[in-house]
């Protein structure tokens, strides 16, 4: 695994672990808080309902207290008082499902305003859907002096069985149990709403944490991308600088070899040729002439002349001395003349110098000459052209070299990245990019043009010299 990938992982893994730990802890604490809130709210609701029920029963007992206290030993009068008390209780209600009920201590219904069909029925053995003896629980709470009981009962307004909280007290002298109740559907709905809000709050908190995690990952990814791009640009700059140094080193080595061939081997071969020519002249003037020796010596001189010309040609191809002595224009004119003579292609050269034209640096001279050399070589080898031309235009801020021919052309889109792309055009472009220049191509059957433009920094930072590039 690469070092950059390890660094990114070392940044991401602890971050994700921390986010996961925070999310787990926050969810646990938020859930516990929601449960405590549910418990506290439920207890508060139930306490308020119990107090409300107790007040209702106290109102009911207060309403029939005069009748209860006026009890008589006469059974007929006492029965009349009980009947009047039941009438009073039957007329008392609070809300759509709030009413009072009365049972005797044996479970027989004495008064039930919402379900009159139950009056007179013995409900001692009545059990709800869960098997709980409802009436027996109520009677047991009344026998203890009064109390609260939760049970299931039909809700008159909906006709469905619902949870109910009842409060009952005994009327001992009459042997009654009087009570009322409140259905808990509203309480359950309120608690469910509170739980839903708490769950929604927890989900929103988790979403915020997830959003923070995503933002953090995005920042890490952006930093990694910036680091990667920065390193890529640095590596690309180093690679271009290395390529420029390699090209400059090649030019230096070519110049050195050219000088060695011209000043060393070429001079020694000229000396040898002069000695051989002198020997041949003496042999021809002597009285004892040897035709075979003369012929062999003449053949050797001819071959030595050919070798000398080849050495000079190689020396000139490596680094023409005219490029260093007279500049790129003279070197280009000589190049076109020599390639025209060798290939039979008519190659013209034109130089355009504007007013206040700049003096070209050595680096620019070298690059333009190599581009012209590469382009003309490609024309001779591949273009099947009958004529070509070079145009060198020099102004105060730029120099432009244009090479054109009337050959068969090529596909410009595949020139750099296609299957048939070569290194020649890429070398041209890389050489120009090192000087801040640009290369443009246009090609069709009958006309192809390669244009190289290099800006000239007459002010500001100068173009790099060979020594600066190598250092």
Residue-wise pLDDT for 295-345, tens only, equals 888 888 888 888 887 877 777 677 777 677 788 888 888 888 888 888 888
* 401 backbone dihedrals φ, ψ, rounded to 5°: -115, 125
pLDDT at 125: 92
Residue-wise pLDDT for 431-456, tens only, equals 888 788 888 888 888 899 999 999 98
Q: Are 181 and 167 in contact (CB under 8 A)?
A: yes
pLDDT at 460: 39
In terms of pLDDT, which residue wins out, 460 or 69?
A: 69
pLDDT at 422: 62
Q: Is the pLDDT of residue 191 over 70?
A: yes
DSSP string for 167-208:
EEEEETTTTEEEEEEEE-HHHHHHHHHHHHHHHHHHHHHHHH
Give the pTM. Answer: 0.47
pLDDT band at 420 (very low <50, low <70, confident <90, very high): low
* Tokens (6 digits) for 450: 């390669």
CA dist list (Å): 102 to 163, 164, 183, 187: 19, 16, 18, 25
Q: Are 380 and 361 in contact (CB under 8 A)?
A: no
* Crossing angle for the helix pair 75-91 and 3-69, to the nearest 10 degrees: 140
pLDDT at 410: 82
pLDDT band at 468 (very low <50, low <70, confident <90, very high): very low
* 156 backbone dihedrals φ, ψ, rounded to 5°: -60, -35
Q: What is the rounded CA–CA span in Å between residue 102 and residue 97? A: 16
* Tokens (6 digits) for 111: 């008064």
Q: Residue holding tokens 């070197």?
A: 331
Q: What is the rounded CA–CA span in Å between residue 10 and residue 374? A: 51
pLDDT at 466: 38
Two domains, one topology: 3-183 and 326-470? no
Q: Are 151 and 166 in contact (CB under 8 A)?
A: yes
In terms of pLDDT, which residue wins out, 166 or 241?
A: 166
Q: Is the pLDDT of residue 248 over 90?
A: no
Q: What is the rounded CA–CA span in Å between residue 164 and residue 383? A: 102
Q: Is the pLDDT of residue 8 over 80?
A: no
Over residues 414-439, mean pLDDT: 75
Q: Is the pLDDT of residue 57 over 90?
A: yes
Residue-wise pLDDT for 20-40, tens only, equals 899 899 989 989 998 998 899
pLDDT at 233: 82
Q: Are 215 and 185 in contact (CB under 8 A)?
A: no
Q: Are 153 and 164 in contact (CB under 8 A)?
A: yes
pLDDT at 179: 95
Over residues 201-229, mean pLDDT: 87
Q: Is the pLDDT of residue 73 over 80?
A: no
350: CB partners within 8 A, 6+ apart: 389, 390, 391, 392
Hey, what CATH topology would domain 3-183 get?
Beta-Lactamase (3.30.450)
* CB count in 10 Å sphere of residue 406: 19
Q: Give the range among 211-215, 278-282, 395-399 with minimum mean pLDDT.
A: 278-282
Q: Are 36 and 29 in contact (CB under 8 A)?
A: no
Over residues 84-106, mean pLDDT: 91
The number of residues making up the chain comes to 471
pLDDT at 419: 55
Three-class SS state of 153: strand
pLDDT at 1: 58
Question: What percentage of the chain carries pLDDT values higher than 90?
Answer: 27
Over residues 384-391, mean pLDDT: 90
Q: Is the pLDDT of residue 350 over 60?
A: yes
The Cα angle at residue 126 between residues 121 and 131, in degrees rounded to 5: 170
Residue-wise pLDDT for 161-190, tens only, equals 889 999 999 999 899 999 999 998 888 888
272: CB partners within 8 A, 6+ apart: 304
Hey, what CATH topology would domain 326-470 get?
Heat Shock Protein 90 (3.30.565)
Over residues 186-210, mean pLDDT: 88
Enumerate the domain spans of the chain.
Answer: 3-183, 326-470
Over residues 418-423, mean pLDDT: 59
Q: Are 418 and 443 in contact (CB under 8 A)?
A: no
User: Would you give the DSSP letter of residue 320?
Assistant: -
Q: Is the pLDDT of residue 462 over 70?
A: no
Q: Are 85 and 60 in contact (CB under 8 A)?
A: no
pLDDT at 9: 75
pLDDT at 3: 67
Residues forming a β-bridge with 351:
392
Average pLDDT, the chain: 83
Q: Is the pLDDT of residue 148 over 70?
A: yes
* Tokens (6 digits) for 164: 């109910």
Question: What percentage of the chain carries pLDDT values higher than 70?
Answer: 90
Q: Is the pLDDT of residue 461 over 60?
A: no
């Amino acid at each position: 695994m690469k070092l950059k990938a390890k660094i990114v992982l070392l940044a991401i893994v602890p971050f994700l672990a921390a986010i996961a730990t925070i999310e787990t802890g926050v969810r646990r604490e938020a859930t516990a808080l929601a449960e405590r809130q549910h418990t506290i709210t439920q207890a508060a609701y139930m306490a308020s309902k119990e107090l409300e029920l107790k007040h209702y029963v106290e109102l009911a007992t207060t309403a029939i207290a005069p009748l209860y206290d006026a009890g008589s030993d006469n059974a007929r009068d006492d029965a009349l008082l009980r009947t009047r008390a039941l009438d009073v209780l039957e007329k008392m209600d609070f809300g759509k499902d709030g009413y009072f009920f009365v049972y005797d201590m044996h479970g027989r219904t004495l008064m039930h305003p919402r379900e009159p069909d139950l009056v007179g029925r013995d409900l001692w053995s009545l059990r709800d859907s869960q098997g709980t003896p409802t009436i027996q629980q109520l009677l047991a709470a009344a026998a203890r002096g009064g109390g609260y009981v939760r049970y299931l009962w039909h809700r008159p307004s909906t006709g469905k069985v619902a949870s109910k909280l009842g409060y009952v007290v005994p009327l001992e002298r009459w042997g009654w149990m009087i009570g009322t109740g409140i259905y808990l559907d509203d309480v359950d709905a309120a608690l469910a709403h509170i739980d839903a809000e708490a769950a929604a709050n927890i989900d929103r908190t988790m979403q915020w944490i997830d959003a923070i995690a995503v933002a953090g990952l995005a920042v890490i990814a952006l930093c990694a991308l910036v680091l990667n791009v920065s390193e890529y640009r640095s590596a690309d700059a180093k690679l271009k600088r290395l390529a420029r140094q390699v090209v400059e080193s090649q030019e230096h080595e070519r110049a050195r070899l050219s000088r060695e061939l011209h000043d060393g081997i070429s001079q020694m071969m000229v000396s040898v040729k002069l000695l051989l020519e002198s020997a041949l002249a003496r042999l021809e003037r002597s009285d004892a002439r040897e035709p075979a020796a003369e012929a062999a010596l003449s053949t050797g001189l001819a071959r030595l002349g050919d070798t000398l010309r080849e050495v000079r040609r190689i020396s000139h191809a490596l680094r023409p001395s005219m490029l260093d002595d007279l500049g790129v224009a003279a070197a280009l004119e000589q190049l076109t003349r020599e390639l025209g003579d060798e290939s039979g292609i008519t190659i013209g050269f034109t130089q355009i110098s504007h007013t206040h034209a700049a003096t070209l640096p050595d680096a620019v001279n070298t690059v333009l000459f190599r581009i012209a050399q590469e382009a003309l070589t490609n024309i001779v080898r591949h273009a099947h052209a009958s004529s070509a031309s070079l145009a060198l235009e020099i102004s105060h801020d730029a120099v432009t070299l244009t090479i054109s021919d009337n050959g068969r052309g090529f596909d410009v889109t595949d020139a750099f990245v296609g299957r048939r792309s070569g290194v020649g055009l890429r070398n041209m472009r890389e050489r120009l990019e090192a000087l801040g220049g640009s290369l443009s191509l246009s090609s069709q059957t009958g006309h192809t043009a390669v244009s190289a433009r290099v800006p000239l920094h007459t002010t500001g930072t100068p173009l790099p010299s060979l020594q600066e590039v190598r250092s």
